[in-house]
């Protein structure tokens, strides 16, 4: 796991393979295991040319974090247009599994499923949710 916090002027996270970073939380008191955690960083941070494989959550962004994540390669990439209540107040995330993205989507959100192989069961219990695929 890579955790980015504080003054990160001119930090680069490039050309890494981030895989098998953990499993889902057991409960709200355990940390959310993920590939990269962006937690209110300041400064110019480049996150590019990385490969993400087999992570329940590839990238989790907490409030006031903002990065351009294009140029990275994801085995499975699931984005949510509007995030509901997430662990530890995360504002946004890129999941590696559809069910994980659906679980934290807000009502009337869109879950955008990127190319990949998703071998999982999905439970949708969020009102007005739209599930879209490439």
pLDDT tens string 34-72: 788 887 677 778 889 999 998 888 888 776 666 777 789
Read off the DSSP letter of residue 70: T
Residue 8, Cα to own-chain centre: how many angstroms? 20
Return d(Cα 29, Cα 8) in angstroms, integer: 27
Return d(Cα 114, Cα 129) in angstroms, integer: 17
pLDDT at 72: 93
Return d(Cα 70, Cα 117) in angstroms, integer: 20
Question: In this prediction, what percent of the chain has a pLDDT beyond 70?
Answer: 83
For the entire predicted model, the pTM comes to 0.80
Q: Is residue 63 within 8 Å of residue 93, measured between CB atoms? A: no
Nearest residue to 11 (alpha-carbon basis) of 55, 54, 65: 65
Return d(Cα 57, Cα 15) in angstroms, integer: 19
pLDDT at 45: 82
Average pLDDT over residues 93-118: 90
Q: Which has more confidence, 102 or 64?
A: 102
Q: Is residue 37 within 8 Å of residue 57, measured between CB atoms? A: no
pLDDT at 14: 93
Average pLDDT over residues 12-38: 75
Tally of CB atoms within 10 A around 2: 15
Assess whether pLDDT exceeds 70 at residue 130: yes
């Amino acid at each position: 796991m890579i955790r980015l916090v504080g003054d990160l002027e001119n930090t680069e996270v490039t050309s890494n393979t981030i895989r098998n970073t953990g499993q889902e939380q057991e409960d709200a008191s355990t940390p959310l295991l993920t590939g990269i955690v962006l937690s209110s960083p300041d400064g110019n941070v480049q996150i590019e040319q990385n490969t993400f494989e087999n992570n329940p959550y590839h990238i989790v962004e907490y409030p006031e974090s903002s990065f351009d994540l294009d140029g990275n390669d994801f085995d499975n990439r699931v984005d949510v247009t509007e995030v509901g209540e997430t662990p530890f107040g995360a504002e946004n995330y890129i999941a590696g599994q559809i069910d994980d993205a659906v679980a934290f989507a807000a009502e009337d959100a869109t879950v955008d499923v990127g190319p990949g192989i998703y071998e999982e069961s999905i439970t949708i219990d969020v009102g007005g949710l739209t599930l879209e695929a490439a």
